[in-house]
Structure 1
Amino acid sequence: MNSTALNLKSRILYHVAKSAWEGTLFERREEICEMVSKEFQDQTTRRYVANQIRMAMGLDPHNDDHVLNDYDEEALMGMASEPTICVNSDACQMCPEGEGRCEMACPLHAITRDELGKVSIDQEKCMGEGHCIKECSFGALGEKSQFIPLIKLLKEQKGPVYASIAPAFVGQFGSDVTPGKLRSALLTLGFTDMLETALYADLITMKEAFEFEDHVKTAHDFMFTSCCCPVWIKLIENKFPDLIEHISPSVSPMIASARVIKQFEPEAKVVFIGPCIAKKSEALLPDLKGAIDYVLTFQELATIFEAAEIDPVVQDDHEKAIASWSGRVYAYTGGVSAAVDATLKKLIPHHSQKLVPIKVDGIPDCQKLLEEIRKGQLNANFVEGMACKGGCVGGPGRLLSPEQGQKFVSSYGNASPAHTPVENPQVYGILARLGHENEASALTGTSPMAELLARKLGQ
């Protein structure tokens, strides 16, 4: 039995998604397990396949040949529980001796292997970025999927369900799949509409510019941007708690999109779709929970399209472009810094302290920079960190290489008629609907809009 034969994750995801779409998952779950595992004809592989199906259904692995326990069906109807990254230890025992790529891929040494070859994850150390999953040749490491209750929601059509799609989406589903075609495909799937998370990045960019004005008054002040990466923030919280006070009190664009949408339509459900596995954990954080209802990766969405027999390439092109260049370039390293810098110059051109950014990506480099900051070796006043190399376009749930992803995003960003949120009428439309017409400064302080877009770290 070899690793190529056992790497069944994509096949299992497809069968689970297709059965869920057809409404036959609970009847067919054991059949899927039997169908996939019968080519190997051994109990260990059946248990491995059963656990792969469980993870695809949003459940933890267990030590049983059957897919579901007595109470699993009820658990399936909600958002997946923590931890979102889990390990199927039975499969790990079949990993070739000395391979262990998952262990080497974890910069935080959260993955260990015992004398029997079973892998375990130290959840205290794990930051949930998920690159270990791509390194596992057996598919034994995986993130819990949330598309079972989402598919049920889309099929029932009981209320509005919005897709908030990450700035990194451009080109991910093929060079011929325009933003308008992807929007049409999501509407065909049952979503009420597709909205660019980049529009809400515009709102956060404007907020970050004002936060910079408020917090950076002297040459010794500095600010961590909290805009995009939950792993970056978790890293500071867990390993550098003395630096928490320098984190901007802004939610991520993902959370901002859901909170704003639900201000307009309280009964709406919001699904974030992006390249990031860690967003699944971010949505479950106590101070953020309830904003985002489900999180899908681009890989999971591609599987649902296949299962539902929806080809985005042949859809009508109905684009609803609403974000500026600044919001769209959040997708790659340095984009947030560039967006805030450009916006600050438009909003507050005479601010006493010029924005001096520093950007870093990859957890090892993020940790190194934070150590330098702790030692007083920072020569910047605006610090942008991304856990994935290349930024969000390098996330483990992507469909393109980071280089390809950045190329598509750059082109799409440059095509926007607005360079910053200051020139984007959509931003002022949101502010007006929320009672802050032409009052961008209301994004900070204690105003209702500021509270809507803020989180309270370290409390």
Structure 2
Amino acid sequence: MEKTKYRQLFKEILKAYYEEVFEEKIEEIMNREDIDKESLSKVISALCGVEVNYSDNFSEDLKFAIKNYQKTNKVVINTSPCTKNCVKVDDKIICENACPFDAIIVDKETLLLNISIDLCVNCGICVDSCKNKNFIDKIEFLPILEILKENKKVIAAVAPSIAGQFGENVSMGQLRAALKYIGFEDMVEVAFFADILTIKEAVEFNRHINKEKDFLLSSCCCPIWVGMIKGRFKELVKYTSPSVSPMIAAGKVIKEIDPECKVVFIGPCVAKKGEAKSDDIKDAIDHVLTFTELKDIFEVFDIEPNKFHEELSTQYSSRGGRIYGRIGGVSSAVEDAVKEMYPDKMELFTSEQASGIKECKAMLQSALKGETSAAFLEGMGCDGGCVGGPKTIISKEKGKEHIEKYGDDSKVNISVNNKIMKKFLRNIGIDNIEDFEDKRKVKIFERKL
């Protein structure tokens, strides 16, 4: 089944679920001619955000699973046996070669594909690399819809790279209004939490960099980059910042202030779905949606964000936090923070960036060999950064343009000078910038790699 057909099928299912004819629609789909019911059941389950095996009671079991959603670590689902009719390189088929973590294992006799739970980081690269569409990532909107129906407080946390994705002139205020129309309590910009992580990374830089040849790997953005460090370059973990990503920080802070609140992240990639399910940080974000999924949801509900009146918020982020969505954004923001907080360390601040799997691997190999000449290393798994994510709607070039404009429109240039952020932090016991050097006070922004 083609990727566009997956999206169309998702929209069919969502419409039926909303109109309360879900079971009838599932049975109608499953009774269509010339289908492999086992494979199609896996596709449908994934589109519903759950894992249900095919049976005579499939539609009922599916509805029960949605209403009683259970979080699992699995994001990417293998739907069909491999036909092995694609190009081979070094005796490996395309998806095997594409996986940066060697997590795809093909049984040479049965041709069945197996995804190793221990090795897979749910980056989703196999989803796009397989021409036969044997992989699909879960879409968790139907379980979200169940939460919204219960009138629970659900906050949408949107990635900086959302700028421009839903139209040249669609503002954050219009996106907030559109999301509230669906049923979200409110929308927050993850760029605001990137400001917090910028200060945290500046503190880590000061802690790790004391002389030439010292270096620090940033950890606060891309789960593919962090997965590569943890899985393939373990020796570099000790040089890696323990900071969580802005997405995780958003969920943690919101729930610290309101423990009953649910948080849904909306971003450009599959890997964030996996990050949200990581054992050590899995309580921060309840669900993840991608830009393309949100686009499909808007279409089913006849929502056109450009036709909504803006719902403005008093919370805003700095330019530094807003440009996290493109490669080099983290480095730029942290450099500005170091200059403000630790001016005597500026002579040691040099940075290097890598985007895309190939560049990231090369930079990590150089660091492992002690051949890096930079003190601050930033890596993003997608070409160009988050603006080049697989679930974006516009090109990475256009995405970068919008990110830059989004940043330039901010009233604050440097995160350290974000007065609203400082007021916000007092709610979780951080009274000033100096408190970021107190490990006890910033525990909420750290993870153990």
Q: Same fold by TM-score, threshold 0.5 exceeded?
A: yes
Matching residue within 20, 25, 28 for 1:28: 25
Q: How does 1:333-348 map to 2 (within 5 A)?
A: 333-348=327-342
Partner of 1:50: 41
SS of residue in 2 equivalent to 1:351? helix
The verdict on how the C-alpha distance between 1:7 and 1:207 changes in structure 2, with shifts beyond 3 A counting, is closer
Q: How does 1:196-235 map to 2 (within 5 A)?
A: 196-235=189-228
Partner of 2:310: 317
Alpha-carbon separation, structure 1, partners of 2:297 and 2:411: 33
Alpha-carbon separation, structure 2, partners of 1:241 and 1:78: 34
Alpha-carbon separation, structure 1, partners of 2:243 and 2:388: 23
Partner of 2:124: 130
Alpha-carbon separation, structure 1, partners of 2:138 and 2:68: 13
Partner of 1:83: 74
The verdict on how the C-alpha distance between 1:452 and 1:138 changes in structure 2, with shifts beyond 3 A counting, is same
Alpha-carbon separation, structure 2, partners of 1:172 and 1:293: 23
Alpha-carbon separation, structure 1, partners of 2:293 and 2:388: 16
Q: How does 1:293-442 map to 2 (within 5 A)?
A: 293-320=286-313, 322-351=316-345, 353-437=347-431, 439-442=432-435
SS of residue in 1 equivalent to 2:244? coil
**Contact 1:200–1:327 under 8 Å retained in 2:** yes
Partner of 2:185: 192
Alpha-carbon separation, structure 2, partners of 1:361 and 1:112: 26
* 1:412 partner amino acid: Y
* 1:84 partner amino acid: V
Alpha-carbon separation, structure 1, partners of 2:280 and 2:290: 22
- 1:304-330 superposed Cα distances (whole Å, 9 cap, x missing partner): 212222221211122336011100111
CA shift at 1:289, angstroms? 1.4
Alpha-carbon separation, structure 2, partners of 1:348 and 1:382: 15
Identity %: 36
Alpha-carbon separation, structure 2, partners of 1:272 and 1:346: 31
Query: Could you list the runs of 5+ residues in structure 1 that have no partner in the other structure?
Result: none
Partner of 1:279: 272
SS of residue in 1 equivalent to 2:27? helix
Alpha-carbon separation, structure 2, partners of 1:190 and 1:202: 27
Partner of 2:14: 17
- 1:223-249 superposed Cα distances (whole Å, 9 cap, x missing partner): 111110111111111111121111111
- 1:259-279 superposed Cα distances (whole Å, 9 cap, x missing partner): 111122111111111012111
CA shift at 1:390, angstroms? 1.0
* 1:185 partner amino acid: A
SS of residue in 1 equivalent to 2:237? helix
RMSD: 2.4
**Contact 1:20–1:151 under 8 Å retained in 2:** no
Partner of 1:452: 444
SS of residue in 1 equivalent to 2:284? coil
CA shift at 1:203, angstroms? 0.4
Alpha-carbon separation, structure 2, partners of 1:404 and 1:270: 28
| Range that drifts further, 148-157 or 131-140 | 131-140
CA shift at 1:396, angstroms? 1.5
**Contact 1:164–1:257 under 8 Å retained in 2:** yes
CA shift at 1:96, angstroms? 5.3
Alpha-carbon separation, structure 2, partners of 1:217 and 1:79: 46
Q: TM-score, normalised by structure 1?
A: 0.89
Aligned residue-pair number: 443
**Contact 2:52–2:62 under 8 Å retained in 1:** no
Q: How does 1:61-140 map to 2 (within 5 A)?
A: 62=53, 67=58, 70=61, 73-74=64-65, 77-78=68-69, 80-90=71-81, 92-93=82-83, 98=87, 101-111=94-104, 113=106, 114=108, 118-140=112-134
CA shift at 1:216, angstroms? 1.0
| Range that drifts further, 307-316 or 132-141 | 132-141
**Contact 1:47–1:65 under 8 Å retained in 2:** no
CA shift at 1:192, angstroms? 0.9
Alpha-carbon separation, structure 2, partners of 1:363 and 1:282: 17
The verdict on how the C-alpha distance between 1:116 and 1:160 changes in structure 2, with shifts beyond 3 A counting, is same
CA shift at 1:22, angstroms? 2.9
**Contact 2:217–2:377 under 8 Å retained in 1:** yes
**Contact 2:430–2:436 under 8 Å retained in 1:** no
SS of residue in 1 equivalent to 2:344? coil
CA shift at 1:346, angstroms? 1.7
Alpha-carbon separation, structure 2, partners of 1:325 and 1:395: 21
